[in-house]
Amino acid sequence: MSALEKEVLEELKSSETSVKPDYELFDENTQAIVFNYQTKAIQRMLDFDYACRRKTPSVAAIVYASRPGYHKCFWGSEEIMIPIYRTTKEAAEKHKKADVFINFASFRSSYESSMEALEQPTIRTVAIIAEGIPERKARKLVSAAARMDKCVIGPATVGGIKAGKFKIGNTAGSIENIIDTRLYVPGCVGFVSKSGGMSNELYNTISMACRIDGEQRDDLAYPALNEGIAVGGDSFPGSTLCDHLLRMEKNPDIKFLVALGEVGGDGEYKICEAIKSGEISKPVVMWVMGTCSTLFPGEVQFGHAGARADGEEETAHAKNQALKEAGAIVPNSFDDLGDVIKGVYKDLAAKKVIQPVEIPKAKVVPIDISDAQKQGLIRKPTNFVSTISDDRGEELSYNGVPISRVVSDGFGIGGTLGLLWFKRELPKFASDFLELILVLTADHGPAVSGAHNTIVAARAGKDLVSAVASGMLTIGPRFGGAIDGASQHFKHAVDNNMSPEEFIVDMKKKGIPIPGIGHRVKSLSNPDKRVELLKDYALTHFGSAKYIKFAMEVEQLTTKKKGNLILNVDGAIGTSFIDMLQAAESFDDEEIQKFVELGFLNGLFLVGRCMGMVGHFMDQGNLSQSLYRHPWDDITYMSDSSGPG
């Protein structure tokens, strides 16, 4: 066992996965991580959940490297969003209770993605849908799973189903078939097969066989399937027919077992041994398919990679005979399988081993547009989504907080920004800090580009929105954009334990002027009062305030070269803002890094300067008494100012 596998085992013991008996792979709380963007399979899982009246969706997350974000899907008639992550590791760390990994990767990448899933301490079961994984790699997967005490279903499987509780991907077909076969209600039959297609067929057979003659009431009946697993038809499956039968033997809710084998391999003989030894004591109804192979003159290869007899003992006839001699209940042909299952079921029901239960009605799952056009029953997905506000109810809410509470509790502008930008309630010192930034950035005089463009557009007769938009479009590295640059570069320096001297040298080597350092007018002898206010607030409220302190140390070095190379407003905001996020204690390092990388700190500058731009627009409308308009053009001058007007 490698060091990595030992570490995984130790982490698995202390993980936050839901606790299940060792014979249970799935229950009503099981959640899965789906690898690859299989939207139809995901929706079928959610429709099954909804019909079964599960409280939570069974799909916790999706892994799809090329499209991180959210996937929009239906929970009944309501739309929900499932997060999409770039890597399995990230998804597993974010969703520790998701202990099933459903791998829809192609055969080319199924091995690597499955091994990565097995290495996650919270993943307990891996279902591999792809077929054709090279045997050498399949053996490695099986070996790794065994050492880690984890279960692999597949390769080449449709997965499995726990009736009324959980299903993998497209198992059991459409929701209509699931309801018709009562798979939305837990039953008493454990079923295992190599073939995924035949497992769907047998779910229907078992359902029909487990309806006692004369049954009339829909609300009281004998339940059918409890759990069904398709182990896959490849030569080296991650788990065998016998593995699952032994597991189902331990389940007190399962009263008898049904299995479907096929020609090739020796897995069925292990079942014979388990029956003879008493490891399997429950009634076993089993049929091995492929008896027709004796009618062909030569060796026959059936559809599955493992469905080929290399000797007499691997033929279906030999296996069926061995099972019958071991004590399994073997029909005379596949056509008789349903009748044999029915006979065992009726016998157990007569002995009161199986009791009738109330059969609740399944919740009605809405029909998609493509299926409902002729019937006029349509559900249409939205074109836009929002995770920050909701106006569908009686009262508008910001991130789930009713607007009445936002007002009554005095959230203010800063608190509102916390709800809309950061999706959480901020402590008062943080919301007050946001308001301080807006006050300090509201305006910087009429000569800066944003104000100048707003004024020019206003005097050209443009409306308020057009004039302010003209000013907003100038926001960039030379007009507010240094906030983002300062936060990114200073954070990188502090996080990498660089000294102020090393930081300055590094920026010089890169040929990048240090964002947030330097001012055209202000200097050591003429300090910027706004920067002083920001420093005082940060040092008073933000604990260690290590980022702005680092910026102040850099300023001490840069001002030795030139007096105006001071820490400016952009630099003070960019660095102290990171300190504020850390002091708030509700943001982890990953979130803070994402905020910085997104470059959205300019939003503070945008909101603040918009207030000033609106003021400049309004100012132009109130200057009529002191304006002089040239008689032959549209150039307008203020009588008491040389600035633009």
Indicate which residues carry an active-site annotation: 304
- Token couple for 349: 């029901």
Helices assigned H by DSSP within 280-361? 316-326, 337-350
- Per DSSP, what are the bridge partners of residue 637? 628
Strands 59-63 and 78-85: parallel
**Smallest Cα–Cα separation from 426: which of 584, 580, 574, 594?**
584
Buried b / exposed e over 535-550, threshold 16 CB at 10 Å, is bebbbebbeebebbbb
Question: In Å, how far are 5, 33, 562 from 143, measured between CA atoms?
Answer: 11, 22, 67
CA angle 83, 86, 87 (to 5 degrees): 105
Please compute, for residue 374, the number of CA atoms within 13 A of its CA located in the half-sphere on the CB side. Answer: 1
Q: Is 213 exposed, middle or buried (0-12, 13-18, 19+ CB in 10 A)?
A: exposed
DSSP secondary-structure letter at 394? S
Question: In Å, how far are 503, 506, 514, 552, 597 from 509, measured between CA atoms?
Answer: 10, 5, 11, 21, 22
213 SS3 class: coil
**Smallest Cα–Cα separation from 148: which of 23, 308, 4, 282?**
4
* C-beta of residue 615 within 8 angstroms of C-beta of residue 623: no
348 SS3 class: helix
The residues, any chain, with a CB within 8 Å of residue 81's CB and separated by 6 or more, are: 70, 71, 72, 73, 385, 387
